Every structure is written in structure tokens, then in C-alpha cells.
Structure 1
Amino acid sequence: MNLVDTLLDRSEETKKGKRVYGVASGIVTNNQDPDGYGRVKVKFPWLEEESESDWVKVASFMAGKERGGVFLPEVDDEVLVAFEQGDINHPFVIGALWSQEDPPPETNADGKNNIRKFTSRSGHEIIFNDDAEGQQEKIEIHSKGGHCILLDDSAGQEKVVVKDKTGKNILKMDAVQNSVSLESSTKISIQAPMIEIKADGVLTLKGGMVKIN
């Protein structure tokens, strides 16, 4: 008995109308669509026979020809499945589900719901912090290795900071002080066919040894 037969066999009503209304939870078994349409296969653990579906479309917040948001669920992820007009032959994945076994990367422990976050399988993150009360309004991008881009809109602290994983190589644009600083623990190199340095006020060059060629 295949997946369709199993679902349609659940009641006489669905047998006659061949309709399954509502939604169902499923587990992703395959996400490598041979046609490249972004589809997945799922199974339904709550069925007596965990039959695998055919390829199922995945809903996205935006989709079009070679554009849109690509967030395919991983194999073994729990997903929510709906059926077009109740037709068991036309399922599609409308979302993903967290559980006790697979908790979210942010828990909203303080109940203020200030954090929005995208976290990849490897641990790359994009974090949106809306904590205006705590003056922590900012956007952060973190790589798994620790590289970071910070866009800080916190009152009195407005700045943009790019920092590598060592924390010793830093580019900082300070909107409060109207200043730009570049720091490195070893060396900074600037190279171009033409370079112009101009100051409307004082130009200061300092070094243990200054060489001008």
C-alpha cells in the first residue's frame, strides 16, 4: 500500500471523496530534487505504514524565475503539509516545525520577543535585535568561524563595525563621532594606481620609523 492508498484508507468519507482536509505533520526524507525545482519528499510517522511521498513543492515567502528565498528543509526536519483543495495527490510543504527534540535557536526567555534570527546548519547567523528599551537596536551577521559585521542603531552608539574572528583586525565607522578607524595587529596595506591623502586641518603621521619614497 502506497502513501496515497494509506491516507485514503483512513475513513470511508475520504475514500469516497478522495479528500484530506486540514494539515498534517511530516518528516523530510529527501531534499535533492532531480529536476531542481526545490521540492522534497516526506513521510508521515503517524501512519501505520510510513510511506514516502512523491516530490512535494515547498512554499516560500518569495518565489519566481531564478529569484526568491531559498530555504529548503533538511532531511529529518519536521514540516507542516497541506493538501491543495483537500486533494491527497497534491500536497505541499507550508512550513517547518520545532519540537522538544529540535528546539529553536532563540527561546524568547524574557518574553519581550526582541530577537529575530536566521541560523544556518553550520552556525552562520543573521540577528535582528529590536530591543529599543535596552538600547540594543542592531543587526549582526556572524560566520561560524567568528567573523562579524555589526550595524548598530542603538541611541548614542550608532556605528558600523567589521571585525575578523581574531578581534584584532577592525574597521569601524562611528556615526556619533563622525570618524572612521582601521586597526590591525600586524599590517595595513593600501595599493592603487593613484592615492590621495588630504586633510582640511592637521595631517599627522607617526611611527617608530617613517619612510617616504
Structure 2
Amino acid sequence: MRPGGPRLDTLDLVQYGLHYGVVCQNKDPDNMNRVKIRLPWLDGGDIDQTHWAQLLTPMEGKKWGWYTLPDVDDVVVVMFIAGDTSQPVILGGAWSKPDFSPEPNEDGKNNFRGYRSRSGHRLIFDDSGKVKITFADKTAKNMFGVGNFAKDGAGPNICATYKPPMSGDTGVSVSTMEGKLEITAKGKLKIEAGESIKMNVLETVDVKAVGETMLEGSSAAKITSGSPSNYDAPLMKIL
């Protein structure tokens, strides 16, 4: 935490410029997503925190906008409108020791941008050689990705350990390593590929249709089984 600011013990004076502070309250009684902060240069005065401070955001509107409320103990940068200490505004957060950035940019290439929540959910924009966008939960066992993924799921991303193995190259990948994945449509569901469609399962494949079931191939058709098979129908025709 860098101190910053004049050495005063009061907020009664006009205060210009930018100041570092630490969030001490974020439960706004008026539900306006404001916070109160402590300023390190208030050396034991009667007032140890600011008035409720508004938070700047990239966009806002009536019940819509970008919502990222700071947590208590987060380091922020504050200014006062027209120097009026009763009108503090939070400009943003500031990483500092021991609160390091989730992406340290150790290689200096600055290829990764994104968002990480407190519990570890991630949105990552990867501008490296294999460009991609990744959404992942905190376990990294459930994720959605768009772009170019290495076949082994590895890569230069600092978040590689949070990324499950994925097959495929450029395109869209959906993966879950626990629980189930469901695709549901009230109307028609169409799956179409320009080349091939491949399905692999470890147990059984169950296909049911209330109406007619059709399997059609323009060239050869092949059905194989590693054990005895049963075909049951009131009438079976083989042409």
C-alpha cells in the first residue's frame, strides 16, 4: 500500500489531486453501489473514513451496466469533485504488494487480458500465437472457448493449469469434466458438418424417436458389434 496524499488529520480542507485509499465499507444503505474508504494520511483524526464514494464505471443505466464493486480492504484511487471532500469518487483499483495482479506478464509480451473474480472464475482474451477467448469456472472443469486451442490443452497462458484438455484447432469448444452437459431445443435441432461427425462414449449410446427413425448414407453403410446383437421389429426388410 503506497501512502500518497498530504499529511493531514482532517477532511475539512479542500482536497485536489488523486489519493490512495483502502475500502472499509461497501454495503451502501441506499443501494447505489458506493463505498467508504480510509485514507492513509488521516493520521488519527476524528474522521477516519470518507463520505460514501461513487464508483466510476465504463457504462451505467437504469438497472444495467458494468458492475464490479470493490471488496473491503481493496486498494483504490480516489479524487474529490471540485476538491469537495463530501463528494469522493473512486477512479479504480490499484494492485500493490501483497495484492498482486492475476496476470504478472513475466515474459513482457502482454498477450493476455481478462477478468478474474474473487473465487477464481475467469474470462481470458489470449492474443498470443494461438489467439482465443476462454470462459472458465473456478474449478476449470467447466469452460467455453472460442479460438485456437493446443491439442493437449497446454500453452503459454499463465492460466494453463486452469484449462482442461481440449481437442480441435481453430473453432469453438465446449467442455465439462464433471457433471453433465445438456443441449435442449423446444423446436428443431440441427447438427451439420462440412466434413465428418464423430461421437465417442465410454458406456452406451441410446437413441430414441417417437416417430420414424432414418439412417441414410450416400455410399457404403457399416454396422459392427464386438458381441452378439439383437434386432427386434414386427417386420424387418433387408434390400
Matches within 5 A, 1:61-140: 61-131=58-128, 134=129, 136-140=130-134
In structure 1, how many angstroms separate the alpha carbons of the residues matched to 2:30 and 2:87?
18
When residues 167 and 25 of structure 1 are mapped into structure 2, their CA distance, relative to the original with a 3 A threshold, is same
- 1:123 alignment partner AA: G
Report the Cα offset of residue 60 of structure 1.
0.6
Report the Cα offset of residue 33 of structure 1.
1.4
Asked if 2 retains the 8 angstrom alpha-carbon contact of 1:30 and 1:40, the reply is yes
Matched, 1:152 2:159: no
Matched, 1:33 2:28: yes
Asked if 1 retains the 8 angstrom alpha-carbon contact of 2:34 and 2:52, the reply is yes
Matched, 1:201 2:218: yes
Asked if 1 retains the 8 angstrom alpha-carbon contact of 2:120 and 2:137, the reply is yes
Aligned length: 193
When residues 129 and 5 of structure 1 are mapped into structure 2, their CA distance, relative to the original with a 3 A threshold, is same
Asked if 2 retains the 8 angstrom alpha-carbon contact of 1:105 and 1:119, the reply is yes
State the identity %: 34
Asked if 1 retains the 8 angstrom alpha-carbon contact of 2:125 and 2:133, the reply is yes
Asked if 1 retains the 8 angstrom alpha-carbon contact of 2:52 and 2:88, the reply is no
Per the alignment, residue 46 of structure 1 pairs with 41
- 1:124 alignment partner AA: H
Report the Cα offset of residue 166 of structure 1.
4.5
In structure 1, how many angstroms separate the alpha carbons of the residues matched to 2:182 and 2:132?
18
- Give 1 or 2: higher helix fraction: 1
- 2:171 alignment partner AA: K
When residues 79 and 110 of structure 1 are mapped into structure 2, their CA distance, relative to the original with a 3 A threshold, is same
Which structure 2 residue ranges, 5 or more long, are not aligned? 1-7, 150-167, 184-192, 234-239
Provide the TM-score with structure 2 as the length reference. Answer: 0.67
Report the Cα offset of residue 71 of structure 1.
0.5
Which structure 1 residue ranges, 5 or more long, are not aligned? 9-14
In structure 1, how many angstroms separate the alpha carbons of the residues matched to 2:203 and 2:98?
45
In structure 2, how many angstroms separate the alpha carbons of the residues matched to 1:211 and 1:85?
83
Asked if 1 retains the 8 angstrom alpha-carbon contact of 2:148 and 2:171, the reply is yes
Deviates more, 1:70-79 or 1:160-169: 160-169
- Runs of at least 4 residues off by over 3 Å: 166-171, 176-213
Asked if 1 retains the 8 angstrom alpha-carbon contact of 2:9 and 2:42, the reply is no
